[in-house]
Copies of this chain bind each other. A is one copy, B any other.
Amino acid sequence: MNAQSSHTRKLLTVVTEAALEAVLTRDLERLGASGYTIINARGKGSRGVRDAGWETDANIRIEVVCDEPIARRIAAHLQQRYYDDYAMILLLSDVEVLRPGKF
């Protein structure tokens, strides 16, 4: 694992309601993510404008870097558990990570 070693992983990006932060981070850990990064966001989608003016209207944007099986497992879980009742989108893309042992 020298300084230049590098590998491809999946980046899973979730934009959803801020109210879910605590439960989602618990889910992520349980499903095998080694970490996550969260940012406050606002936006618009099929459930209308969520402009963070009011607590129940705020969004968060969660990023998880992990290998593909874990990414698929997390995505499937979120979709099955939260998609129907909460504002949420899920995106997957490829990223190269610099210290693959970490993810």
* Chain A residues within CB distance 8 Å of chain B: 3-4, 6, 11, 13, 15, 25, 29, 34-46, 59, 61, 65, 75-76, 79-80, 83, 89-99, 102
- Pick the contact of A96: B38, B92, B96, B98 (CB < 8 A): B92
Contact (Cβ within 8 A) B95 A91 = yes
5 pairs across A/B with beta carbons < 8 Å?
A3-B76, A79-B99, A90-B98, A91-B95, A92-B98
Contact (Cβ within 8 A) B34 A45 = yes
Q: Taking the full assembly, how many copies of this chain does it contain?
A: 3
- Pick the contact of A35: B43, B61, B102 (CB < 8 A): B43
- Pick the contact of A39: B41, B76, B102 (CB < 8 A): B41
